[in-house]
Structure 1
Amino acid sequence: MDARIQQSVVVNLSRRPAPVEVGPFMIGLDPTTAGPHINYATPRPGAAVTAADVTALVAAFRAADRKPRLEYVTSCAPDLEALLTAAGFTVEARHTYLLCVPETLASPPTPDHFSLREPGADSQRAALISAQNEAFGGDPIVSAADVARLRRQQDAGGVAVLAVSDDGTCAGGGGAAAPVGAVSEVAGIAVRPPYRRRGLASAITADITRRLFLAGTEVAWLEASGEESWRVYERVGYRPAGQRLYIAVS
């Protein structure tokens, strides 16, 4: 399963507006943002990697005026971390990723006074992104490029869901990448602070995952950022599966 997850990341990065292939690496680049969580690289699963490959990778990032950074499933490139460390990279985080399949999905009820829907207009997409930015401690201001990025994700077969209160306020949401080989990453699950601890995160996660499975996805995966989110994901049927590394040049 590790190789299947890793290959899905490779393909998703190749779908960025300006991808660059460097030896065994795929760099996903988006000229509209310098965000490191959008512009990063990953190795092809099982590919042999040399110090020269890492040097070429860094040079490609520098040429694109982006911070050299990678995310990958560690078992798919077990010797890579040592090469990256020797080249000046520093570990940002080590995360366990979790998997869900149709047989394990549990769908809790949507909390009272909220509804879950897929954004169909740019104003709804902007509201979703703004809620995510606020929930993660970022700037709630949303650019046209941010909205276009989400629209492209949906047009490519990805999923987006927003939670809306009875008064029309967007309380949170999340999404999932377009499936690759029937595998999709769920990400950006967010609930704005005033609406937390009502079960919205579980409902949003389950709804996104359900939509993926109804469209033919076989495996959904995500990462938990802490114990609280871990519990949320386990409640809807996600189970620990493997390790991923985040590493970048400081």
Structure 2
Amino acid sequence: MSVVANLSRRPAPVETGPFVIGLDPGTDSPHINYATPRPGAAITQADVADLVTAFHDAGRKPRLEYVTGCAPGLEALLIEAGFAVEERHDYLVCSTGSFDPAPVPDGFRLGAPVTDTQRMAMISVQNEAFGGAPTATVADAARVARQQAAGGVAIMAVDGNGGCAGGGQAVPPNGGVSEVAGIAVRPQCRRRGLAGAITAAVTARLFAAGADIAWLEASGTESWRVYERVGYRPAGKRLYIALD
């Protein structure tokens, strides 16, 4: 339900049948504008068709991200409707009991971005780390600022020259649960423990604000090891699937 709540906080959310689409008029990125099913809801092929129509009406690419265990039969319905799997990721969960803080490596300092310039610098590093262009817009900065104002977390790492070396974020907690995302480090700053320090800093701020559970996704064995050292433990699978 934390993902449902997160998408419902987007500037222009749409509810269609058992789905919630988190729409943001400030960007057409499918990684921002996507849907998720309500856990445990009964879903039909007609619901999927209505979902596609809602995306098309909004001028966005039909795309979903969801925990497979919350809607076991949905993938087959989506495939039948022409969707194609993009990725399958493991997700991990950290509680206050399993959390293990990580030190900040020498030569770096961590803090929350408080200006749009700082937010754009952080987002640029995140975009680059995940294979995109190392740029960011004012709309991107505004999105992070809204998240922070609503109780979310953003942490950026700064190197000795004052440049942004990495960053990470978390959405505002819902029911004591929050998603951590966008943990990124510039290539030249990796393998020094910075990713773990950023993850730990984001998680610590969530717990200090009253969250009980933080969760995130691991896309590979290297990131998995980083997150496990901070106290995250495997909990299930998430599916990324879209209609071209």
TM-score by length of 1: 0.96
Alignment match of 1:61 (pick from 52, 55, 65): 55
Cα displacement (A) at 1:96:
1.2
Give the structure 1 partner of residue 216 of structure 2: 222
Cα displacement (A) at 1:114:
0.6
Alignment of 1:1-250 (within 5 A): 7-250=1-244
Q: What amino acid sits opposite 2:185 in the alignment?
A: V
Partners of 2:158 and 2:107 lie apart in 1 by 8
Give the structure 2 partner of residue 3 of structure 1: none
The answer to whether the 8 A contact 2:22-2:32 is kept is yes
Cα displacement (A) at 1:39:
0.5
Partners of 2:215 and 2:98 lie apart in 1 by 12
Partners of 2:132 and 2:4 lie apart in 1 by 27
Secondary structure at the residue paired with 1:49? coil
Q: What amino acid sits opposite 1:24 in the alignment?
A: P
Partners of 2:241 and 2:114 lie apart in 1 by 35
Secondary structure at the residue paired with 1:229? helix
Q: What amino acid sits opposite 2:234 in the alignment?
A: P
Cα displacement (A) at 1:249:
0.8
Q: Where do 4+ consecutive residues of structure 1 move more than 3 Å?
A: none
Q: What amino acid sits opposite 2:206 in the alignment?
A: L
Task: Structure 1: give runs of 5+ residues left out of the alignment.
Answer: 1-6
Secondary structure at the residue paired with 1:109? coil
Cα displacement (A) at 1:165:
1.1
Per-residue CA deviations over 1:24-51 (Å, capped at 9, x if unaligned) read 1000111111111110001111111111
The answer to whether the 8 A contact 2:178-2:214 is kept is yes
The answer to whether the 8 A contact 2:116-2:138 is kept is no
Per-residue CA deviations over 1:142-164 (Å, capped at 9, x if unaligned) read 11100000000100100000001
Per-residue CA deviations over 1:119-173 (Å, capped at 9, x if unaligned) read 1111111111111122222112211100000000100100000001122111001
Cα displacement (A) at 1:23:
0.6
TM-score by length of 2: 0.98
Partners of 1:57 and 1:135 lie apart in 2 by 31
The answer to whether the 8 A contact 2:36-2:64 is kept is yes
Q: Percent identity?
A: 69
Partners of 2:221 and 2:76 lie apart in 1 by 29
